[in-house]
Structure 1
Amino acid sequence: MTTSDEHDPTPELYDSLDGQVALVTGANRGIGAETARRLRDLGATVYAGSRSMDNETPDGTERVLIDVTQEGDVEAAVDGIFEEVGRLDILVNNAGIIGPENDIVAAPTKEIDRTLAVNLRGPMLLCKHAVPLLLQHEGGRVVNVSSGMGALGEGQSGGSPAYRVSKTGLNGLTVYLDGEYGDDGLVANSVCPGWVRTDMGGESASKSVEKGAETPVWLARFEPGAPSGRFWRNKRVIDW
């Protein structure tokens, strides 16, 4: 890896993901579907997670049932991947919800709990069950789809308390994974895709889904020894 400065590292990237296996959660729409589609086009075998088997996932991917709030779903999905192909190289924790948009005083507790369960507990469960597979080959990658709304330095006013705190916690998970497993070869990073025209971002968002998926897919292409334990936006490191 060559580095021009700490906010603009230049990692070595896989040009092809032939022979590699990826699991993308929330892959039935938006950034998740586009990420799954692009990893497929790069040659990976892609398991496209969705919380309902009735949801459509990109052609050429393997649809897999994962409600990330249900540990049984998570464990069954990871075990199924191991039984079918014997490896996992990339985990993209993309599934997420916005949760209650009012301030914490007015936010219903039930909605706070669900947002934290999907956005933070879910990725932790995925890592709990998937990390052993990711460590079987040097350079297994975890890409946590986070948000600038969870960045401590970008201000936290404007509502959506559970979403903001869940994404701050997701960034903490990234740092933990790097600290705990980085010496074993795991490459874990967070990414802010920006304000994207998805069901969550709305039609007024400034980025297309295709642009929003660019950096997550780029991170999924990192070779062993690439930067890890960092927060990225537009392929540049940003502050936590």
Structure 2
Amino acid sequence: MARVLVTGSTDGIGLETAAQLLRLGHDVVLHARSTARAAAAGLPGVPTVVGDLASLAETKALARDAGVYDVVVHNAGIGGQDERQVTGDGLERTFQVNTLAPYVLTALMPRPARLIYLSSGLESVGVADLADLQYERKPWHGMQAYSDSKLHDVALAFAVARLWPQVRSNAVDPGWIRTKLGGPSATDGLPEGAETQVWLATADDPAAAVTGRYFKRRTDLKANPAAYDRSVQDGLLAACEALSGVKLTS
């Protein structure tokens, strides 16, 4: 039995991931961005930790207080925003929630045996613009900012795999899933959207016992070439460290 934290797990793919893990007999902890969302979580009685990933202080507190896990599934994220929004930390919201928060949690939490970062097929059109990660100078484009953040997540997974060889660190494209983020026209249901994360979190067969890979439907795919670029990985880590004050140690 593994102890697993699934971030952003009060609904959607995160909730389905947690539910599948529970049915397999694992010890699961949910994560909500607020106490109100924790109270409304769809798995009553399952322990839930709270922390708003749009706040550096709350993200750091979550990392400090959440506990020790065998597996962390970095599922939480937001979609493309119509307008550029700045958080209370003065950071662009999509970047802070989708990229910086999983970096901070990874850097500060005790190292698990397995890390899984939820990406998107849109990472393929993401751009690793290290000079303007937060759209401070270039025109705002919400879906491009989302795509960029999903590329960042893959690059983060690969960087962690390189720096922490004892940890299995992989990224997953869940597919186009019918959720609030995916919308009603999406092609696949929640079970398909969670299956690969659950497999990576629990399986020990050779196909799952790997690190630094990008999966969809348990298939090892090629990610955006930028994600494999060590200069991109290192530049992203350096930017996240400068913005958060938190260093990812090797």
Q: What TM-score do the two structures reach when normalised by structure 2?
A: 0.74
Give 2:62's aligned residue. 77
Moved over 2 A (4+): 69-82, 107-112, 222-225
Partner SS state of residue 126, structure 1: helix
1:62, distance to aligned residue in structure 2 (A) = 0.7
Matched, 1:68 2:53: yes
**1:169 maps onto 2:152 in alignment:** yes
> Match of 2:123?
150
User: Which of 2, 9, 26 is equivalent to 2:8?
Assistant: 26
Counterpart contact for 1:119–1:170, Cα < 8 Å: yes
The residue type equivalent to 2:5 in the other structure is L
**Following TM superposition, by how much is the alpha carbon of 1:152 offset from its aligned partner in structure 2, in angstroms?**
4.9
Q: RMSD of the alignment, in Å?
A: 2.4
1:128 is aligned to 107
The DSSP-based 3-state class of the residue aligned with 2:117 is strand
Identity of aligned residues (%): 33
Kept in 2, the 8 Å contact 1:45–1:61? The answer is: no
One-letter amino acid of the structure 1 residue matched with residue 115 of structure 2: V
Structure 2 CA distance for aligned equivalents of residues 201 and 62 of structure 1: 27
Alpha-carbon shift at residue 133 of structure 1 (Å): 3.7
- Read off the aligned partner of 2:80 and give its amino acid letter: G
Aligned: 1:90 with 2:75:
no
TM-score by length of 1: 0.77
Equivalent pairs counted in the alignment come to 202
Q: Which has the higher contact order (CA 8 A, sep 6+)?
A: 1
Distance between the aligned counterparts of 2:46 and 2:203, measured in 1? 21
**Which stretch shifts more, 43-52 or 58-67?**
58-67
Cα offset, 1:159, TM superposition: 6.3
Compute the displacement of 1:77 (Å): 3.2
Determine if contact 2:49/2:66 at 8 Å carries over to the other structure: no
Deviation at 1:73, TM superposition (A): 2.9
Superposed, 1:1-240 pairs within 5 Å as 18=1, 20-55=2-37, 56-57=40-41, 58-82=43-67, 87-100=68-81, 107-108=83-84, 110=86, 113-130=92-109, 132-134=110-112, 140-152=113-125, 160-182=143-165, 185-223=166-204, 226-240=209-223
Q: Per the alignment, in what secondary structure is the counterpart of residue 48 of structure 1?
A: strand
Report the Cα distance in structure 2 between the residues aligned to 1:80 and 1:224, rounded to whole angstroms: 32
Stretch of structure 1 that moved more, 191-200 or 42-51: 42-51
Cα distance in 2, alignment partners of residues 167 and 195 from structure 1: 14
C-alpha contact 2:119 2:171 (8 A) present in aligned 1: yes
